[in-house]
Amino acid sequence: MQKLTSQTEWIARAHEVLPAGGFGNFDPGIVIARGEGSKVWDEDGIEYIDYLIGSGPMLLGHGHPEVMEAVLEQLPKGMTFFANNAKGIELAEAIIDAVPCCEQVRFVASGGEADMYAIRLARAFTGRDKILKFEGGYHGMSAEAQMSLAPEAQVNFPQAVPDSAGIPQGVADQMLIAPFNDPAAVEALLAEHDDIAAIIVEPLQRIIPAEPGYLQGLRDLCDKHNVLLIFDEIVTGFRLAYGGAQERYGVVPDICTLGKIIGGGFPLAALGASAEIMQHFDKGKVGSEGWLMQLGTLSGNPIAAAAGLKTMEVLRRDGTYDQLRRTGRALQDMQVAALTEAGIAHQICGDETLFDIFFTDNVCRDYRSAKHDQPAVNATYNAVLRANGIFKSPGKLYPSLAVSEADLEQTADAVAQAVAAIR
């Protein structure tokens, strides 16, 4: 077979075999050939500073030497067994040591799976069916999660709007939707419905921060109404702090889900809770009626566990999160300064470890307010960044520990070009 050297050829080939020419994740108009440290290169050899970092997992950067060493040490010992392995058990111990709500964990292969099982676990534990989620909240690709993720029509709360074809109406009937950062709306729903099993929430919803006291307010309302609180920490776990959002905000949920960073770049996720809640995975303890079946061919595979363990070891070192926040703050400050000087309305939305810009004067506090006044401005801004060697999502910027001072200088030059283009 002739070697393909052109990205254009790879893109054409992808359109022959992949719906819409892609994997469904990211812009199919770019094909990444390799990554190293803070950089990625496309199939034409063009270099980019990577602020997508695999949508979050590569917090240490690509090909971190210690993670590579751990993976290469495990490879000749076996890649997967569909059975317990020591690395997976060690990783479970490390997660439990780090994450306040976890007394036990179960591994799965993706964050979407973890969220699906967390919802099912809450129903099994409480004996109730309804789930409350927040408009715009992302919890994977299950039928429940695809309710009011990105609705185009604004309907009255708590009506659920499916974001995908193929979802039965019965799923929507079991979902209640509330606006994020509105405790009164949640309190009203909990008072009206006595069949809610759980509230599932991203402590940082996409990039929208919870307002002060909001997460504790959810915790208090759940306690008052005997409802479980699920933190989706697929993104925030080991990013906002070593103990995730639970450490950062001091609020402990009943169940949490973890992913991305705990696999060190390999497919791995987990859900965790108290031993009392997690016993529903143990048929011997809860019997057939209470048992939650869960299995997966690659759940807890030793290569992902080895990569995750080493990643977590590096993150525990002194100064790691200070460095990450310094980098994030520098990336925020350079954009704020350039946009302010140019007189362009904007809001930084998010945390120093994960954020982006909305081109608006509005405060971004929920799905309906967190939007651009002129989406075309955002499209131009991101396109010029890409043309100047910056690789990022149109709606998120992930700092990593691999970003250098030289990278920040190059990014500042790209930001100047992007601001000039939209001025």
Active-site residue list? 138, 232, 260
Task: List, in order, residues 6 or more apart from 109 with CB less than 8 Å away.
Answer: 267, 268, 269, 296, 297, 298, 299
Q: CB–CB of 189/225 below 8 Å?
A: no
User: Whole-angstrom Cα distance, residue 132 to residue 113?
Assistant: 18
Q: DSSP per residue over 36-68, as a string?
A: EBTEEEETT--EEEESSGGGTT-TT-BT-HHHH
User: Whole-angstrom Cα distance, residue 231 to residue 205?
Assistant: 10
DSSP code of residue 23: -
Question: What angle do helix axes 302-315 and 65-74 make, rounded to 10 degrees?
Answer: 150
What are the helix and strand counts (H, E) for the chain?
Answer: 14, 15
The b-or-e profile of 138-173 (16+ CB within 10 A means b, else e) is bbbbbbbbbbbbebeeeeebbebbbeeeebeeebbe
Q: What is the radius of gyration, based on Cα positions, of the chain?
A: 22
Angle, alpha carbons 284-287-289 (nearest 5°):
155
Q: CB–CB of 373/359 below 8 Å?
A: yes
- What is the token pair recorded at 286? 């809860």
